[in-house]
Amino acid sequence: MEVAVRIFTDDLEKALARDCKCKVDLADLSQLDKNEGLIEKYLNAQLKITSDGKQIKTSFLGFERLEESTWSYLQSGIEPTLPKKVTVENSLLYEVQNKQSNLVRLKLGDLDKTKQVSFPDTRMEF
């Protein structure tokens, strides 16, 4: 499974700075290792995926800044069969935006669906 997360860079920097109580500049290449660690910790805390009731452990691959957004990439091992139900708990940016709305697109076999969750709700089922 591959996961790509797109967040506006200024919002992500605010969320990361709030967590670490430090200044965060994702454009600062001298801080690459620190920033990768901050993003990985944040995504692990705010984004949970379960497949047929079993939590999926993801590995952080890295991030890149494109225009005003930051893309972060995660992956997990491939499951041998397609799940019957996938649940996503997504609270990204809820701590900095009380009107935050998040979109999740799931492509799985023939299924290609997008769902939206808005603060304070976090749970989506596919």
Q: Report CA-CA distances (Å) from 26 to 8, 23, 48, 61, 77.
A: 11, 10, 23, 16, 28
pLDDT band at 111 (very low <50, low <70, confident <90, very high): confident
pLDDT higher for 79 or 18? Answer: 18
Please report, in angstroms and rounded to a whole number, the separation of the first and last CA atoms in the chain.
15
pLDDT band at 79 (very low <50, low <70, confident <90, very high): low
Mean pLDDT of 114-122: 96
Q: 78 pLDDT exceeds 70?
A: no
Look-up of token digits 């660690």: 37
Q: Would you state the pLDDT for residue 31?
A: 97
Cβ-based neighbour number of residue 39 at 10 Å: 22
Q: 117 pLDDT exceeds 90?
A: yes
- One-letter identity of residue 39: I
Torsion of CA 79, 44, 60, 106, to 10 degrees: 50
Digit-coded pLDDT (tens) for 51-71: 999 999 999 999 999 999 999
pTM above 0.85, yes or no: yes
Digit-coded pLDDT (tens) for 3-62: 999 999 999 999 999 999 999 999 999 999 999 999 999 999 999 999 999 999 999 999
